[in-house]
Amino acid sequence: MTRYFLTLISFFLSLCTFAQGESVATSNNFMLSNHKVFVSVAVLTIILLLIFSFLFWIERRLKQLEDRQKN
Amino acid sequence: MNWLYTKWWKWLSAVLLFYVVIGSYMVPLSPGISKIGPLSFSPDSIYTFTISGYHTHFKDPGVGKIQFWFKSGNDYFQAKDLNILSANTGEVKFGIGSNQQDSLKTNNFDIIGNDDIDGTFALREGVTLIKASKVDSSSTVNATTGPVEVVHNKHQFLAFPYREILYESIRNTFFHVPMWFVMTALVFFSLVCSVIYLTKGNSLYDVFAHQSIVAALLFGICGLATGMVWAKNTWGHYWVNDPKLNGAAVGVMIYFAYLVLRGSITDEIKRARIAAAYNIFSLVIFALFIYIIPRLTDSLHPGNGGNPAFSKYDLDSSLRMFFYPASIGWILLGFWIFSILTRLELIKQKQEL
């Protein structure tokens, strides 16, 4: 399973290679040119990070409760 | 049951959603025409039209030959005397003779442009011809059809399609649409659990059915919220009288009623049985309101009421690169939330015993 998971991640990481050839067209992009897009991405990434941290934290707490009930 | 506790698919959900959020915002929009003026014109006069581009590169040294056409039906009339004002603005001259007006299939003209950097871009039904009541035989104005040279954008590897009204908000496709996929997947899962409960009588399936509806409602509310924000930016109002919107609201309320019904019955077995039976009917009504009725009547939503669906025109390969991972990621997140709610409920039940 780990192998399939890593293959999938590497597939998505291949997008980074496209980013190397930044074109003339992208350099004039509205959202990229005023840098506001980076603020949006940063805010969304932080929100996602908080959501996933919270979910993993709950998972850990639930595991502790389940183990306590078993014992 | 073990799948509730395994972690790989939860990590997969996190990876997919980070990929979608970061990746989709970094992909630019394709060039397009945002507006043109004047919006209407009469025959037998030459008009100067100002064309405003979006992400275009009219002033760039590598732009090559910039061309514009006015398209009516299958006829492409070439615009003349192009005057470039800036990277995103240009002026062209165009007119049509009154003796040509009757041969046109439609009075609405699409504006099509192309150059070596931006490729071919267009504005659908940008200009309208107001037909003359009489044909002026002395008129010298005569629009000429020109050969259309379609140039593909060679410089931009990955770009989302430029769509009028949607513009940059097209990225909401990765958030709004999957919310309903998640809700549908969870309510369908809930239905299966309810059917199993009614046939086998195992109370675990009642917990599954109940908690999947709770998780589904969370995504239903998110679907309504993302849809409302999108509607404000595209249609001008948070809520319009659209059968899909009203159907979605009714669909969400049906499942809120499921929770109210459960809460109103104190006997555990009776509650589980009545809720399971209600759940089966709920999915039928939910599917009817969200997937069937909007397709039978006029609707603003793509793919409904005769409108072309996203898959036909708009969901191109660049959108698919994010849309499919987004759908999978959000569905996995939905089931993750469901697994947490279920485990919590099972812990509560064990404690009560």
Residue B124 in contact with residue B113, Cβ under 8 Å?
Answer: no
- Rounded mean pLDDT of B229-246? 90
Tell whether A29 is within 8 A of chain B (Cβ). Answer: yes
List, for residues A26-42, the tens digit of each pLDDT value: 444 555 555 678 888 89
Give CATH 2.60.40.10 domain extents, chain B.
Answer: 32-129
**For residue B350, which residues of chain A lie inside 8 Å, CB to CB?**
69
User: A25 and B14 in contact by Cβ < 8 A?
Assistant: no
Dist CA B60 CA B165 (whole Å) = 27
Strands B108-115 and B119-129: antiparallel
Beta bridge partners of residue B246, listed in sequence order: none
- Rounded mean pLDDT of B297-320? 67
**For residue B336, which residues of chain A lie inside 8 Å, CB to CB?**
55
Tell whether A16 is within 8 A of chain B (Cβ). Answer: no
Cis amide bond preceding B147, omega within 30: no
* % of residues, chain B, pLDDT over 70: 94
Q: Cα angle vertex B217, ends B225, B346, to 5°?
A: 145
User: A30 and B350 in contact by Cβ < 8 A?
Assistant: no
Neighbours of B152 (CB within 10 A): 8
**For residue B160, which residues of chain A lie inside 8 Å, CB to CB?**
none
Nearest to B194 by CA among B185, B207, B184, B181: B207
**For residue A40, which residues of chain B lie inside 8 Å, CB to CB?**
25
* % of residues, chain B, pLDDT over 90: 51
Phi, psi at B153, each rounded to 5°: -70, 105
Tell whether A39 is within 8 A of chain B (Cβ). Answer: no
Predicted pLDDT at A23 = 42
Neighbours of A17 (CB within 10 A): 8
What is chain B's mean pLDDT, rounded?
Answer: 88
Q: Give the closest of B54, B157, B347 to A69, CB-based.
A: B347
Q: Give the closest of A21, A30, A56 to B157, CB-based.
A: A21
- Domain B32-129: top CATH class: mainly beta
Predicted pLDDT at B97 = 87
**For residue A62, which residues of chain B lie inside 8 Å, CB to CB?**
340, 343-344, 347
What is the ipTM for the molecules in this complex?
A: 0.79
User: B12 and A23 in contact by Cβ < 8 A?
Assistant: no
Amino acid at B145: T
